[in-house]
Chain A
Amino acid sequence: MSHSTETGAPVDSDTFRPTDGAREPASVSSRILAQGKYETLAMLKNGEQLMLLILFPLMALFGLAFTGFLDGWAEQFGGSRIDVAMPGVLALCAMSTALSGQGIATGFDRRYGVLRFLSTTPLGRGGLVAGKAVAVLTVVAIQYVVMGVVGLFLGWKPDVPGFLLSLPALVLGVAAFTAVGLLVAGTVRAEATLAVVNTLWVVLAALGGSLIPAHHFPGGGSWFIELLPSGALGEALRAGMLAHHVAWGPHLVLIAWIVIAGLAARRWFKWS
């Protein structure tokens, strides 16, 4: 069984067969896009996920459009209810997809050894994370279209500068929530991930400053809410879409969340 060189040192004697493209990885971009497509379809084909990704944000949109929660805020801006509701609903969409959707999917994939298996294919760990990012951004884009179309029927009046300013905020928000979701999914059991991210979703949706602006809450806690990723994303989107103004503070808060949660996930994420 053992083979030696002339010097007597053992060598690894595996074959090096001539390759004609066989046993070569597909290109980086096609691996990541394939994984992105696979994860996107997995999210959209799952009934519970669809409820979280589409139904709940739509309910929030309708709820805010037909109740007076945001009336004071709308008057201040000179917009309609639906105009001030839309940025918050988009922030909720980003949270649903990146935190809950991807967090839960990753938690169960980790439990079933899927992360281990896929990381042994040419995709690798980096490709897996990149594929998830593609999927999350794709789903958020789909949510934007669905919420936008329904919003138009409800009287939403979008404009080009508001739309353009919403994009960087959404990308940062999605990245921040994905980092937090992966941190949870990679460190606790799948069932605990489910519980933690769903609780976070409910608490952040109700009190996190996404749907309802932080300064609408009584007491002195609004600074705290503005430091949450939900509050920061809500503020950044509202400033951009309603006032066409880049709110640097909330953007920086989101970047801080990306860096801190990203580094923590890198440090503590367990693949199995």
Chain B
Amino acid sequence: MLIDDLRKDFSLPRRKRNRATPGAESQATLRAVDGISLRAAPGKVTALLGANGAGKSTTLSCAQGLLKPTAGRVRLLGEDPWRAGPSLRARVGIMLQEGGLPQAIRPIPLLRHVASMYRKPADVDALVSRLGIDGFDRTNIRRLSGGQRQRVALAAALVGDPEVLFLDEPSAGLDPQSRHVVFDLVREVKESGTCIVLTTHLMDDAQRLADDVYIVDEGRNVVEGQVDDLLNNSQDRKTLRFAVSRRGMQLLDVFPAPLAEGLTLREEHAGSYEISGPIRPEHLSHLAGTWAELGELPTSLELKPRSLEDLFLDISGRTIR
């Protein structure tokens, strides 16, 4: 799957347009995607990361042929998805963000119906038991929980045994057990050579599942690369998280100037702190020494390599825009 310099404008409804400056043409449209490029390879999980409204789902919709790009080139299995015929659609499986499942039908009859659209569909029974759908197969989809629907939607996307699998926010609403099952299945599908493209705003998920990541912000690519590379490049940077009483922090002259070089301290929430940067053993001994003098023991203390989430927050900022 290949996307090259994709742009997508949406025209605003007329009443909103009138409120904007009259005559200004740019006010009539909203640019959701402003030059995103990405490439997803077979046998890999490619993750599109970004904050809410960054343009992830719009990009995916263009790649799936559900939206017509304003400009740019999209190729799905070598074809233009906007003009896709049934033979291309048979090779692509799609799990939409909102599921797209009919409400007044039980899961298994629905999956059998979707299977009837393919000449040789995947084994529905195997998918059903693998995803634990048989545990709630007597219930109409309307009454299922979010996580149960999510599993049905994944099964529906896999019924055609696709060469390209799109997953829009696949872990939304999943409990830890379902998440484990879903992730295992996604990895297995990947191993079989399928090209998997997913969007998520959960960096943990991306770190656990993805081989390649594209971080997008305001409709543009900001960072791209292999997850391992991105994390390795910042290997000297670590994050130290701890929770300690106010007293333990107030009296703490965090680090003397030469030691503080390159470090940043943030209070995540009351009593919970995060120091990130090139942390060295001296930093730990300084903190531990100070707490020992005060007789304060932190309630938690954790030193971690930088995660994709740290990287993402560094790039896109920590405040909501």
Contacts and interface: CB of A to CB of B under 8 A. Distances in A.
Interface of A: 1-3, 10, 12-17, 20-28, 30-31, 34, 38, 42, 45-46, 108-109, 112-114, 116-124, 127, 271-272
Given A1-B39, A15-B195, A16-B77, 20 more contacts: A1-B212, A12-B1, A12-B75, A14-B42, A15-B42, A17-B163, A22-B120, A23-B160, A23-B163, A24-B120, A25-B87, A26-B116, A26-B118, A27-B119, A28-B86, A117-B99, A118-B100, A120-B65, A121-B89, A122-B86
B6 to A, nearest CB: 14
A13 B44 CA distance: 12
B242 to A, nearest CB: 37
Interface string B108-132: 0000011011111000000000000
A3 B89 CA distance: 24
Interface string B25-57: 000000000000001011100000000000000
Contact of A113 (B42, B64, B98): B98
Nearest to A121: B117
B182 to A, nearest CB: 18
B61 to A, nearest CB: 9
Nearest to A126: B86
Contacts of B164: 14
Interface residues of B, number: 48
A272 B57 CA distance: 14
A10 B39 contact: yes
Given A113-B96, A121-B89, A14 B163 contact: yes
B294 interface: no
A10 B113 contact: no
A42 B98 contact: no
Contacts of B103: 108, 112
Given A12-B77, A13-B41, A25 B117 contact: yes
20 contacts: A13-B42, A14-B78, A17-B163, A20-B120, A22-B119, A25-B117, A30-B116, A31-B86, A34-B116, A112-B102, A113-B96, A113-B100, A119-B66, A121-B89, A121-B114, A122-B89, A122-B90, A124-B86, A124-B89, A271-B66
Given A1-B41, A24-B120, A31-B117, A121 B160 contact: yes
Interface string B219-236: 000000010000000000
Given A15-B193, A25-B118, A112-B100, A117 B78 contact: no
Given A10-B39, A14-B42, A114-B100, A120 B64 contact: yes
A45 B94 CA distance: 28
Contacts of B90: 23-25, 122
A21 B119 contact: yes
Contacts of A17: 163, 193
Contacts of B195: 14-15
B91 interface: yes
Interface in B56-78: 64-66, 75-78
A114 B114 CA distance: 12
Interface in B165-218: 193, 195, 212
A226 to B, nearest CB: 36
Nearest to A119: B66
Contacts of B279: none
A31 B87 CA distance: 13
A113 B77 CA distance: 25
Nearest to A33: B116
Given A12-B78, A23-B160, A122 B117 contact: yes
Contacts of B254: none
Interface string B136-159: 000000000000000000001000
B92 interface: yes
A26 B163 contact: no
Contact of A117 (B86, B96, B116, B193): B96
A127 B84 CA distance: 13
A16 B76 CA distance: 12
Contacts of B89: 25, 120-122, 124
A124 B87 CA distance: 10
Nearest to A27: B119
Interface centre among A21, A22, A117 (most CB of B within 10 A): A117
B104 interface: yes
Contacts of A108: 103
